[in-house]
Amino acid sequence: MSFYQKVYEIVRRVPEGRVASYGQIARMAGSPRASRAVGYALHVNPMPGVIPCHRIVNREGRLAPAFAFGGTDAQRKLLEAEGVKVDEEGYVDIKKYCWNGK
């Protein structure tokens, strides 16, 4: 299985109402230093309706500045529709909403 395939399989498991960080996904895919590669994989997400890339944020909880599927506003709307609160600066409380990987 390729790295991108691993990323997509892991991201598919992030439940509604939760977020994960790029680094967390990289570690779970077996490449702990590949946070940027996770971002690249999500940028070319072949199945946006199936692979919920909007649930991935940076380690501080910040939304992706270049969210591929409509920008930060689209990511915010998708997360808020799932009950995730996003502050005015585009941050999610990572401690509150972080997915534990199970």
DSSP string of 24-91, one letter each residue:
HHHHHTT-TT-HHHHHHHHHT-S-TTTS-GGGEE-TT-BPPTT-TTTHHHHHHHHHHHTT--B-TTSB
Q: Verify whether residue 98 is a known catalytic residue.
A: no
- Stated as kind and residue range, the H or E segment containing 3 is helix 3-12
DSSP structural state of residue 98: B
Question: Of 20, 28, 42, 53, which one is the catalytic site residue?
Answer: 53
DSSP structural state of residue 100: -
Catalytic residue annotation? 53
